[in-house]
Structure 1
Amino acid sequence: MIRGNRFLLIFVSLSVALVLAILPMPAVLLPYRPLWLFLVIAFWTIEEPERVGLGVAFVFGVLMDLVVGTVLGEYALRLVVFTFLLGRFRARFNFYPGWQQTLVLAALLINDRIVAAAVHVATHGLAAPWHYWGSVIVTAVLWVPTFALLDAIRLRKR
């Protein structure tokens, strides 16, 4: 029963992240929209690496592509690269205090933005504007509260 609850919790949290990604926002704030799916994938990759890995990142990346309307496979590629890199450093990441985890996550999100910029240049021929990087800062700042919230929910379900 507990095992089924974990899968349900993972699925619900990732689904909520998808919904948060498409909620309407004022046009001024759109460049600063947090990358919720990256935060939730990061949490589950760290806490449940045997359940959430590259396959889950790929599936939810394709779903994000379909929901947001980007080039099919863009988010899937970005999430798989992000999850792979985070998974490689998961053992060290757990020992860092919150502020260092935030910096590591920011570095991974900068890498994500570079991958996304490469995809945009390859598919559209357009370079990203300067405010394109705003969501990295907002997402990194939200790491500790998101981690605390999801961890409290996960531990309460046990």
Structure 2
Amino acid sequence: MTRQRPSWLMPLSVILALVLGLLPLPPELQPLRPYWLALVVAYWVIEDPDRIGLGFAFIVGLVADLAFGSLLGEQALRLVVMAFILQRFRARLRFFPMSQQALAIGGLLLNDRIVVAAIHVALGIPSLLPIAWLAPLLGMLLWAPVFLLLDALRLGHWRRR
């Protein structure tokens, strides 16, 4: 017997990640903003691979490009690269302890920064500030709370019995 996930959870989590990405921060903290959308997409690619994949990552990335006013296709490319790597190693990653999963997600977020840097170099856009390379570390630390919250909501552990 398979448990049905709430149909509202995935769209709501993506919208919340977009809103968290749009919240204003002081200019000195802006480069440290975690890539919330990547954390949410990573969760869904790992936990619902039959329905969530590269197409989902691409569409969410295009929506994020429009919402954030960034180069059209940049976030779509970033999320597709991350989703592809996650799909490739999903079987192993699912059974890692949370600390090792967080390290893997941190590596993926660091890879994301490398992709952003490569895009900026290719297009002649000013490169990232050195402090921006710390954002993957923050995302790595946030992986466990994001994963556990979404998992509890998806599996219905928040309901009273």
TM-score if structure 2 supplies the norm length?
0.91
In 2, Cα distance between equivalents of 1:147 and 1:125:
34
Aligned partner of 2:96 in structure 1 is 96
Aligned partner of 1:85 in structure 2 is 85
**The 10-residue stretch of structure 1 (46-55 or 120-129) with the greater mean CA deviation from structure 2:** 120-129
Kept after mapping to 1: 8 A contact 2:117/2:128 = yes
In 2, Cα distance between equivalents of 1:7 and 1:40:
15
Give the C-alpha shift of residue 6 in structure 1: 3.6
In 2, Cα distance between equivalents of 1:84 and 1:27:
32
1:102-126 deviation line (CA, Å, top 9, x unaligned): 1111111111111111111112343
In 2, Cα distance between equivalents of 1:156 and 1:49:
19
- Count of aligned residue pairs for this structure pair: 156
Aligned partner of 1:19 in structure 2 is 19
Structure 2: which amino acid aligns with 1:68?
A: F
Aligned partner of 1:61 in structure 2 is 61
For structure 2, the 5+ residue unaligned runs are none
In 2, Cα distance between equivalents of 1:125 and 1:64:
19
Identical-residue share of aligned pairs (%): 49
Kept after mapping to 1: 8 A contact 2:45/2:83 = yes
For structure 1, the 5+ residue unaligned runs are none
Q: RMSD across aligned C-alpha pairs, in angstroms?
A: 1.6
1:33-86 deviation line (CA, Å, top 9, x unaligned): 111100000111111011111111000101111111111000000000000001
In 1, Cα distance between equivalents of 2:94 and 2:83:
15
Q: Which stretches of structure 1, 4 residues or more, deviate above 4 A after TM superposition?
A: none
Aligned partner of 1:119 in structure 2 is 119
In 2, Cα distance between equivalents of 1:24 and 1:129:
18
Secondary structure of 2:148's counterpart equals: helix
In 1, Cα distance between equivalents of 2:88 and 2:19:
28
Secondary structure of 1:89's counterpart equals: helix
In 2, Cα distance between equivalents of 1:43 and 1:94:
10
TM-score if structure 1 supplies the norm length?
0.93
